């Protein structure tokens, strides 16, 4: 069990009675946001004790049984039939067997509310800087390494910071800050009076509170998000990536000052990505 979300998913699934099923989406909704349905499925695929956590009782929203790590779909259906679940062809009769009355902490609902509050508090600030810090994270299993690369405006690397630790939250779309912030903040906390460049989104986020907003707010530093993929269709690319203001709402044009020729991202971010990957390999060994 790697994260708090693993514990809560397993806690919910244990509540499904024999002869009943639930869906990945229903479990995610109980946790506070149906967007986490795929994360629920991924977490259940990592279940190591099907006797304790009856993951075979969680099916797809259309009634198909879905995957099962302990024997595949055939074994999953066999177990459900043995428990009295009935089918219409290959689909569970959800109208008869659906359980969705979970008693579990709605962690995603609480996190979304915190993001909405953070977005309301994000105010425009004057941004003057002589240094930038690029921030990225690399993972191996339940371990993560954050890297922070301090550079001047001429492209000179002045210092590098790292922070290593255990992952406490899995990847869930729109909640990435809760996974990555401990590593980025830990790596960057020794640097002050800089502009943060963060591998992630800023205000180009459904609740206007992506990783760059979170991390800038914690450190009290202006930040810009530079993401490889968009979260929102309305977010146009900038030089092939997706740039948006983070904490302090700086003008994204300032990244031109630290985006050196031939780079896919500002160099501080490319280096942070490389250093984090190298360091996590060392941590693994």
The CATH number covering residue 163 comes to: 3.30.2170.10
In a domain, 111, yes or no: no
- CATH number of 53's domain: 1.10.10.10
Model pLDDT for residues 12-70, shown as the tens digit of each residue: 999 999 999 999 999 999 999 999 999 999 999 999 999 999 999 999 999 999 999 99
**pLDDT band, very low/low/confident/very high, at 233 (cuts 50, 70, 90):** confident
The reply to whether 195 falls in a domain is yes
Sort residue 155 into left (φ over 0), alpha (ψ -120 to 50) or beta. left
Question: How many domains, the chain?
Answer: 2
Q: What is the pTM of this model?
A: 0.92
User: Token pair 């962690």 is at which residue?
Assistant: 107
**Residues 56 and 137 reside in one and the same domain:** no
The verdict on 189 and 275 lying in the same domain is yes
Same domain, 244 and 123: yes
Q: Are 270 and 132 in contact (CB under 8 A)?
A: no
- 59, 25: one domain: yes
For the segment 138-172, what is each residue's pLDDT rounded down to a tens digit? 999 889 999 999 999 999 999 999 999 999 999 99
Q: What percentage of the chain exceeds 90 in pLDDT?
A: 88
Asked whether residue 257 falls in the same domain as residue 154, the answer is yes
Rounded Cα–Cα distance for residues 151 and 157 (Å): 5
Tell me which residue range forms the domain holding 51.
Answer: 4-105
Last residue of a domain, one of 105, 136, 166: 105
Report the catalytic residues.
55
Same structural domain, 85 and 184: no
Residue 207 covered by a domain: yes
- Which of 71, 105, 139 is the last residue before a domain boundary? 105
Could you tell me if 148 and 263 lie in one domain? Answer: yes
Residue 112: inside a domain: no
Residue-wise pLDDT tens digits, 236-281: 998 889 999 999 999 999 998 888 777 888 999 999 999 999 998 8
Q: Give the pLDDT score at 264.
A: 84
Q: Do 145 and 50 belong to one domain?
A: no
The answer to whether residue 155 is domain-embedded is yes
pLDDT at 285: 58
- The reply to whether 113 falls in a domain is no
Closest CA to 59 of 91, 103, 96: 91
How many CB atoms lie under 10 A from the CB of residue 70?
13
If one compares 192 and 145, the residue with the highest pLDDT of the two is 145
Q: Is residue 22 domain-shared with residue 139, that is, in the same domain?
A: no
Alpha-carbon distance of 250 to 267, in angstroms, equals 19
What does the pLDDT look like over 66-104, one tens digit per residue? Answer: 999 999 999 999 999 999 999 999 999 999 999 999 999
**83 and 171 part of one domain:** no
Domain end, chosen from 61, 83, 105, is at 105
Same domain for 68 and 172, yes or no, is: no
User: Has residue 114 been placed in a domain?
Assistant: no
Which pLDDT band holds residue 1 (cuts at 50, 70, 90)? Answer: low
Q: What is the dihedral of CA 225, 228, 234, 236, to 10 degrees?
A: 90
Q: Are residues 97 and 177 in the same domain?
A: no
Give me the pLDDT at residue 263, please.
83
């Amino acid at each position: 069990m790697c994260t708090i979300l693993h514990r809560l998913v397993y806690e919910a699934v244990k509540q499904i009675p024999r002869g009943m099923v639930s869906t990945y989406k229903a479990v995610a909704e109980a946790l506070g946001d149906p967007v986490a349905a795929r994360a629920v499925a991924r977490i259940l695929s990592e279940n190591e004790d099907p006797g304790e956590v009856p993951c075979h009782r969680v099916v797809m929203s259309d009634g198909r049984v879905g995957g099962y790590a302990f024997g595949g779909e055939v074994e999953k259906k066999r177990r459900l039939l043995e428990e009295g679940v009935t089918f219409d062809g290959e689909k569970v009769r959800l109208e008869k067997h659906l359980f969705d009355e979970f008693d579990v902490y709605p962690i995603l609902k609480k996190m979304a509310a915190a993001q909405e509050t953070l977005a309301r508090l994000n105010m425009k600030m004057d941004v003057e800087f002589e240094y930038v810090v690029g921030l990225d994270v690399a993972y191996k299993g339940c371990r993560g390494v954050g890297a922070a690369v301090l550079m001047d405006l001429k492209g000179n690397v002045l210092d590098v910071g790292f922070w290593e630790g255990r992952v406490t939250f899995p990847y869930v779309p729109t909640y990435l800050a809760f996974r990555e912030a401990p590593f980025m903040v830990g790596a960057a906390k020794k640097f002050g009076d800089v502009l943060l460049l963060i591998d992630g989104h800023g205000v180009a986020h459904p609740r206007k509170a992506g990783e760059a907003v979170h991390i800038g707010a914690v450190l009290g530093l202006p930040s810009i998000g530079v993401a490889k993929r968009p979260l929102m269709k309305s977010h146009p690319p900038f030089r092939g990536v997706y740039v948006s203001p983070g904490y302090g709402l700086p003008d994204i044009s300032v990244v031109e000052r630290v985006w050196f020729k031939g780079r896919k991202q500002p160099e501080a971010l490319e280096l942070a990505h490389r250093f984090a990957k190298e360091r996590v390999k060392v941590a693994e060994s």
